[in-house]
Amino acid sequence: MSMSSSSSSSDSESEYSNLQHIPDECWESVFKYLSDPLDHESLSLVSSHFLSLTNRLRTSLTVSDHVLPFLPALLCRFPNLTSINLTHHTGDLNELLSQIASSHLPSLRSLDLSHQPALPSIALRHFSRKFPALKSLNCSFMDSLTDKDLNLIAECFPNLEEIDISYPRIADAESRVKALASGFKKLRKVNLSGLPLRKLSLPGCFQYGYGGISSLLRNCNNLQHLDLQCTEFLDDRCVIELSMLLGNLNFVNLSENSNLSDSSLFAIIRNCPLITEIRMERAGVGKQKVEKDCLVVNSHLKFLYLTRNSYLDDESVEMIASVCPNLETMDLSYCERVSEGAVEVLRKCCKIRHMNLARLGSELFRIDFEIPTLCSLNLSWLRIGDEELSLISKRCHRLKELKLDFCQKITANGVNQVVENCKQLRVISLFSCEKVAADVVAWMVFTRRSLRKIIAPPRFHLTEGQRDLFLRHGCIVSSDLTNVTDSSARNYEPELLEAFLFP
């Protein structure tokens, strides 16, 4: 070993020794400034000490169906959970609550049962005996929630301070207020929303016309969510007039309405100042331009989905970019007349995080400016080569997910550039990339330890030994777009669980 190498190794050991003397309280204070769970995941891989610290810092857990096999391990792993969300669970809620009640979670104070069909009364009593100090309970959007259920909740959780029973399927406000007043003595916050109409969803309904929907909206000034997907009478004139009645709207779905053009889109942007998400997929955006002096900037719009608008072109997309500076997500997939307009979105929207550009009409896709916020990019079916891919990897160096399916011109050289330059890369898809050599997969797994999922290129044959080796490195490899999880992954903890917790 050379003198310089020996000195460097000694310095590293000395620095690590010094770090070991830093109290856990100091580390925890530092880690708390990192709000993104993905950052905690990276820290957990540094050492077993950091793993135990990040485990203690996690305070919330969302339990969906694909997490169920790992639930016992997760409940042991995160002892300081204060809130559990069961909204996305579709199975037996009584069984799940009983399983949670058998764990040791002394800090648990909040439970979310929203969007469930009914209150799990059988297991709730058992759960309450284990967690009598529960402070917050969410039963919003529940199909069936009766006064009897409220009495049961009051009996089980006398210390509740917050309860959400908003947007029930059957609403009886007066009865529920009485039940709350008589049963809960410590309540500080109650959500009874749902009597004023906040959400209207009528996709594919044909038994009403413009007069009916207009009359309804004139009497519902607080509407926030509107879904008129596939509504045969809708045209630009209707949407322009309706948009003037929707000052509080923050979500609208006007997809599959082929009579709607740019006029409808920009009317929503102009007349609904609080709008955050617009869906106009498979519409007619692009076929009728608007005058530029009619444009108004909307700083609230964050999510815009325009997939499969066959008329959409660069001119319309550039106009959108000019009035929506805070866009975070944009889907332009299958808009085959769009090319440079997509680049202008990336240039002008400085908060952009997710872009779906699959099957654009661009021959080349060159980016010659930094995009530090972009974390997800779909370039499937684009006719880009290694040169363009190298530029993208250098300008979008914080990418975490990259899809390159059916990109027939790229080779392993371009993929190498991505893996080397994108140090936070977690997911990469190379499905049907014919010119990418199969042996690049192993190199990617061992080179970029942040990778969690790889869709392999053609001619890659995954052996049992390779699968286990890759899993031990925390990466799931598949040659099938629909099969990116593996039941054997549950045998590898704690690193691989992160691939399921943070897909």
* 98-126 tens-digit pLDDT: 999 999 899 899 999 999 998 998 889 98
Question: Between vectors from CA 321 to CA 318 and to CA 327, what angle results, nearest 5°?
Answer: 150
Same CATH fold assignment for domains 198-334 and 363-503: yes
Residue 269 · residue 289 · CB < 8 Å: no
Residue 44 — pLDDT band, cuts 50, 70, 90?
low
Buried b (16+ CB within 10 A) or exposed e, 461-477: eeeeeebeebbebbbbb
Question: In terms of CATH architecture, what is 198-334?
Answer: Alpha-Beta Horseshoe (3.80)
CA distance 402 to 389: 11
Residue 189 phi/psi, 5° resolution?
-145, 125
Question: Between vectors from CA 453 to CA 370 and to CA 478, what angle results, nearest 5°?
Answer: 135
Predicted TM-score (pTM) of this structure:
0.62
229 three-class SS:
coil
Q: Sheet holding 354-356: strands in order across?
A: 199-201, 225-227, 251-253, 277-279, 303-305, 329-331, 354-356, 376-378, 401-403, 427-429, 453-455, 476-478
Query: Which has the closest alpha carbon to 107: 131, 142, 77, 140?
Result: 131
At the topology level of CATH, where does 363-503 sit?
Answer: 3.80.10
Kindly list the domain boundaries of the chain, sorted by start residue: 21-57, 60-191, 198-334, 363-503
Cis peptide, bond prior to residue 37, ω within 30 of zero:
no
Mean pLDDT of the chain: 84
CATH class of the structural domain 60-191: alpha beta
CA distance 417 to 458: 20
Buried b (16+ CB within 10 A) or exposed e, 109-132: bbbbbbbbeebbeebbebbbebbe
Residue 454 — pLDDT band, cuts 50, 70, 90?
very high
CA 149 to chain centroid, in Å, comes to: 32
Residue at token pair 């917790």: 501
Length of the chain: 503
At residue 180, does pLDDT exceed 70? no
Q: How confident is the model over 464-486, as pLDDT tens digits?
A: 999 999 999 999 999 876 554 44
CATH 1.10.760 describes domain 21-57? no
Res 497: pLDDT: 40
